[in-house]
Structure 1
């Protein structure tokens, strides 16, 4: 059953995701010593856990500089009483959080909704629980044309939507084939009336949970 929130094209609210904490291996908490040599030949010995070395490596690549240059730049800003290893840990984590904020903002449900609303064809956002999370005006127009049952509330109250491919299978297939789409059939039924067609599925660019954007190509 689909429930339309008045004044919006959102059908349901997302539930919080209960993600398990990542496992940590013994080797990941053991600091690793590296000798870092700057451009001027200045040598610094630093001990950091592997995850921070990985973070500094990503920062260096993003900034198009060597890790040694990054360390030298950080050391030049360190107060006399500061600890370089601690400063590098904070810098690495702060950079990672800033990148995470950027990614989460770009992949927010609000931005996914904008993608759906910008589509000229009937488009929906389908959850792994087989519910339509979002839809656009062309989708609603299609329903009114093909399943004329009165007002919007009456139309969507008993609407049932299904696709010919199992949703879990569709999501797994698209994860294995990144950048690809999956075409399958769909059925929409309201009361005794129904309609069939074809829908192109793609992984939704959202971090909330695994969902599918469906572009209806034929009905």
Structure 2
């Protein structure tokens, strides 16, 4: 459960002047003012623009503060839905399949979550595997950096990648190489994407 800070729940009074010069006195909790300010920035407008749009939607005997609260939550909800759609497992799978390089996604528990055809082709060639069934029997894949450490490192250095080694073994053969790790764009669980350098 999230913790609510005192200033987030404390009502604040603000006087907002619209483009027409009309002055509106509004009392909202701090968290709503922050959300409305974010909405104004996201739409390249101003707080007074948001208040004007809200005022246009107030029904008879309605309340502007209530409309502004709804606008704040609705805008954040829509943004959350858009971000979750972009960072869904389906979209992550599409990114992996679209990569021309051998690509995998590893979970925090060191399991391969996703992989693409170039990854399978590389293993077939370098481990002399004839079938996918042979790949699943006794196949092992490990990276030189602990996944927990890789995730911590990548979270601390957003926008960066981590270069490390990998070992793949199967069919009595072992292959070593270099893999570039990046945080997987997924909201469902923390994972890393690995791009194998040929």
TM-score, normalised via structure 2 length:
0.95
Q: How many residues align?
A: 198
Residue 79 of structure 1: aligned partner: 59
**Aligned runs of 1:29-68 on 2, under 5 Å?**
29-68=9-48
Q: Is the CA contact 2:128–2:171 (under 8 Å) kept in the aligned structure 1?
A: no
Q: CA RMSD in A?
A: 1.3
Residue 118 of structure 2: aligned partner: 138
Q: Quick check: 1:201 aligned with 2:149?
A: no
Q: Deviating runs (4+, > 3 A) in structure 1?
A: none
The structure with higher relative contact order (CA 8 Å, sep 6+) is 1
Q: Quick check: 1:181 aligned with 2:161?
A: yes
Q: Is the CA contact 2:134–2:171 (under 8 Å) kept in the aligned structure 1?
A: no
User: Secondary structure, in 3 states, of the residue corresponding to 1:33?
Assistant: strand
Q: Is the CA contact 2:57–2:67 (under 8 Å) kept in the aligned structure 1?
A: no
Deviation at 1:106, TM superposition (A): 0.8
TM-score, normalised via structure 1 length:
0.86
1:122 to 94, 102, 114: 102
Deviation at 1:133, TM superposition (A): 0.3
Deviation at 1:45, TM superposition (A): 1.1
Q: Is the CA contact 2:104–2:115 (under 8 Å) kept in the aligned structure 1?
A: yes
Segments of structure 1 that go 5 or more residues without pairing to the other structure are 1-20
Deviation at 1:157, TM superposition (A): 3.0
Deviation at 1:46, TM superposition (A): 0.9
Deviation at 1:114, TM superposition (A): 1.0
